[in-house]
Amino acid sequence: MGKILRVDLTSKKITAEELPEEVLKNWIGGRGLGVYIMLKEVDPKVDPLSPSNKAIVLTGPLTGIPGVPSSGRWCSVTKSPLTGTIHDSHSGGKFGPELKFAGFDAIIIEGASEEPVYLWIYDGKAEIRSAKHLWGLDTHATTDAIKEELAKEIGEDEAKNIKVACIGPAGENLVRFAAIINDYNRAAGRGGHGAVWGSKKLKAIAVRGHKKVPIANESKFKEAVRKAMDKIKKSPVTSEALPKLGTAVLVNIINQHGIYPTRNFKTGVFDKAEEQSGEKLVETILDDQLVKREICWGCPIGCARGTRIKGKWTGEGGGPEYETIWAFGAQTGTASLEAISKANYLCNELGLDTISTGHVIGTLMELVEMGKIPPEKLRGLRVEWGNEEAIVELTWRTAFRSGIGNDIAEGALRLAQKYGAPEVAMVVRGQELPAYDPRGAQGHGLGYATSNRGGCHLRAYMIAPEVLGVPELVDRFKTEGKPGLVKHFQDVFAVIDSLVVCKFTSFAIWSEDYAEMLSAVTGWDVVPSDIEKIGERIWNAERAFNILAFGDGREFDTLPKRLLEEPMPEGPAKGHVVKLSEMLDEYYKLRGWVNGRPTKAKLGELGLDWLASRLGGLLPS
């Protein structure tokens, strides 16, 4: 554990390093370790698209270990060109375990190349190769071309098992929400990590390896994994709903609760939700063969979707997931599952985050409705709620920064600011909000507002307790008790992201299970309270990075005015707004913060004195 590959794209120098065990004990891996490295090595004020920013690719201590449920993921950490915050983005598939089999836990990419390059890592060896011939290709063509070219060197059978993470035209064109795509259809989607790769002229990373990940205590490990797997098999969510209907199961659930954001969060009820539901998807476009191809390495849940569409829109590929269906669907007022899927395939192939892409198209539709966009900018395209032609065409235009796509590529906030209506940007810290209207889920609203990486549903997934009743149902319209729940979820989720295990396991297992598996694999003695403490450390370190970067604090812990001041107009959440002010002070108190910033004492308690002295006068007195 702790083997790092450092790749300087400016000097083309590659070195291997080992991290001290103490660092790993404090930060684990994945998101936590990435945040630590960024704080130690990168000036938080750095321009995210400059050579001084770093792009870090990480796995976790449980990645690639057979038996650990849903440990086939990987994570990217960088400073985001969309939000200017510290940012981690995660992806499934098979790339993460393969990197581990190739002998590395993480890759730190620094500097920038003048010419396009890709990185090839094979059984402990790494080399930088030219990607001039790959520049301009989409993610599928890039992946195939790399496998074909390496097959000549390592043989076809071996090359078949190469895993590739790469960027498409969107990353090359520095779209602020460009994704990194691995295994054809899996995305480290949010926050524009693909643009950071693009700015470094890094087209791809290809990996292949044969190493086995060591386990410190085999008998303890078997017992911990058996317990975790039992719970996953017993939970109806992880054994029934997710495998059968995928994440799209949420479309009807969320719409029936009146919090399915529709037409840029104007309302929470979409009258055509049934047409794009998980149930409908299974009946119409799901393809069992394609599903098998998409399922992540070592996953007993297997929620992935593979679909094929015929008719007006044709194609096949991974997805669509719940968030994608919402972003291209209700957010733009579009019903057609086929058009949504087509836009999804294009995002995978061109390298775009589906959430931000669909979301910003919805923002543009509202700006057009308001008469803010000069008609000549749209080149005759009808950019109107529910026009499926528009969502498909605007997707490719975004990747190529073509026409109005050049404005969409800047994200909802910059788009709305440019055309004089910043209030329609439904963002937190510049990141577009996802598929839940928090006016009908108060805790979820607090989760959005306080998210260090900007608008995100997965920092504190309050939908679990507030809507789904996991682990226990709480009243979604009440604010009492929510700050404590949000903090607890934020801290534990920070650790799940650092173990680099799928968050869907958390529908069945929690701190004690993660602690047991981590202890068995590493030989450390980790207890559940350690998990929460490490999570809190990561959360505070992220906030510290943001304070140093742009003065983060109370003024950023907020939501768009629409959610705070305009009552939900209809449906089960009618009349509600997010009562953020009722929750924020208690949240700060529980965190040991003043006005959105940690105190010196809190940082000291978490072993972050070195950060406290760096922050100096920026901390509350």
Nearer of residues 378 and 468 to another protein, judged by Cβ? 468
Q: For residue 249, state whether it binds another protein (rule: CB under 8 A).
A: yes
CB distance 270 to 287 below 8 Å: no
Site stretch for another protein (CB under 8 A), options 226-234, 406-414, 470-478, 535-543: 470-478
When binding is defined by CB under 8 A, the residue of 41, 115, 153, 240 that contacts another protein is: 240
Q: For residue 250, state whether it binds another protein (rule: CB under 8 A).
A: yes
Helices (H) and strands (E) in the chain, counts: 28, 18
Least distance between another protein and beta carbon 240 (Å): 7
Q: For residue 244, state whether it binds another protein (rule: CB under 8 A).
A: yes
Nearest alpha carbon to residue 337 among 383, 393, 382, 274: 274
Least distance between another protein and beta carbon 507 (Å): 5
HEC readout, 411-425: CHHHHHHHCCCHHHC
Helical H runs in 102-167? 139-154, 156-160
Nearer of residues 153 and 570 to another protein, judged by Cβ? 570
Rg, Å, the chain Cα set: 22
When binding is defined by CB under 8 A, the residue of 106, 166, 202, 241 that contacts another protein is: 241
Q: For residue 237, state whether it binds another protein (rule: CB under 8 A).
A: yes
Nearer of residues 482 and 537 to another protein, judged by Cβ? 482
Q: For residue 499, state whether it binds another protein (rule: CB under 8 A).
A: no
Nearest alpha carbon to residue 395 among 360, 363, 428: 360
Binding map of another protein across residues 56-85, x = CB under 8 A, - = no contact: ------------------------------
Nearer of residues 472 and 555 to another protein, judged by Cβ? 472
Site stretch for another protein (CB under 8 A), options 50-58, 155-163, 226-234, 251-259: 251-259
CB distance 70 to 299 below 8 Å: yes
* Per-position DSSP letters for 569-614, written without gaps between them: -SSTTTT----THHHHHHHHHHHTEETTEE-HHHHHHTT-HHHHHH
Could you give the dihedral angle defined by the CA atoms of residues 75, 76, 82 and 86, in that order, rounded to the nearest 10 degrees? 90
Question: What is the H or E stretch that residue 129 is in?
Answer: strand 125-130
Kindly report the backbone phi and psi dihedral angles of residue 431, in degrees, each rounded to the nearest multiple of 5, phi listed first: -100, 135
Nearest alpha carbon to residue 129 among 162, 98, 106: 162
Least distance between another protein and beta carbon 193 (Å): 20
Least distance between another protein and beta carbon 235 (Å): 8
CB distance 179 to 194 below 8 Å: yes
When binding is defined by CB under 8 A, the residue of 136, 214, 469, 551 that contacts another protein is: 469
Least distance between another protein and beta carbon 5 (Å): 31
- Token pair, residue 80, equals 């985001």
When binding is defined by CB under 8 A, the residue of 117, 202, 304, 464 that contacts another protein is: 464
When binding is defined by CB under 8 A, the residue of 62, 165, 225, 242 that contacts another protein is: 242
Nearer of residues 398 and 505 to another protein, judged by Cβ? 505
Amino acid, res. 307 = T
**Total of residues contacting another protein (CB under 8 A):** 41
Q: For residue 320, state whether it binds another protein (rule: CB under 8 A).
A: no
Least distance between another protein and beta carbon 259 (Å): 9
Cα–Cα distance, 68 to 550 (Å, whole number): 39
Query: Angle 185-187-191 (CA atoms, 0-180°, nearest 5)?
Result: 155
CB distance 116 to 131 below 8 Å: yes
Q: For residue 492, state whether it binds another protein (rule: CB under 8 A).
A: no
Site stretch for another protein (CB under 8 A), options 119-127, 229-237, 304-312, 385-393: 229-237
Nearer of residues 73 and 201 to another protein, judged by Cβ? 73
Nearest alpha carbon to residue 425 among 398, 407, 442: 407
Q: For residue 445, state whether it binds another protein (rule: CB under 8 A).
A: no
Q: For residue 278, state whether it binds another protein (rule: CB under 8 A).
A: yes
Least distance between another protein and beta carbon 445 (Å): 17
442-450 vs 482-499: helix crossing angle, rounded to 10: 50
Provide the CB-side half-sphere exposure for 391 (13 A, CA): 37
Q: For residue 489, state whether it binds another protein (rule: CB under 8 A).
A: no
Site stretch for another protein (CB under 8 A), options 89-97, 129-137, 140-148, 231-239: 231-239
Least distance between another protein and beta carbon 108 (Å): 29
Least distance between another protein and beta carbon 516 (Å): 23
Site stretch for another protein (CB under 8 A), options 151-159, 163-171, 503-511, 599-607: 503-511
CB distance 99 to 203 below 8 Å: no
Kindly report the backbone phi and psi dihedral angles of residue 428, in degrees, each rounded to the nearest multiple of 5, phi listed first: -125, 130
Least distance between another protein and beta carbon 430 (Å): 22
Amino acid, res. 343 = A
Nearer of residues 201 and 476 to another protein, judged by Cβ? 476
Cα–Cα distance, 602 to 600 (Å, whole number): 5
Site stretch for another protein (CB under 8 A), options 141-149, 358-366, 469-477, 544-552: 469-477
Q: For residue 236, state whether it binds another protein (rule: CB under 8 A).
A: yes
Q: For residue 460, state whether it binds another protein (rule: CB under 8 A).
A: no
Nearer of residues 370 and 473 to another protein, judged by Cβ? 473
Kindly report the backbone phi and psi dihedral angles of residue 304, in degrees, each rounded to the nearest multiple of 5, phi listed first: -60, 150
Nearer of residues 503 and 579 to another protein, judged by Cβ? 503
Cα–Cα distance, 568 to 329 (Å, whole number): 19
Locate tokens 């979707």: which residue? 305
Least distance between another protein and beta carbon 244 (Å): 6
CB distance 291 to 308 below 8 Å: no
When binding is defined by CB under 8 A, the residue of 6, 377, 503, 533 that contacts another protein is: 503
How much helix, strand and coil, in percent to the nearest 5, is found in the chain?
45, 15, 40
Residues that bind another protein (CB under 8 A): 235-238, 240-242, 244-250, 252-253, 256-258, 278-279, 303, 322, 457-458, 461, 463-464, 467-470, 473, 475-476, 503-504, 507, 571-573
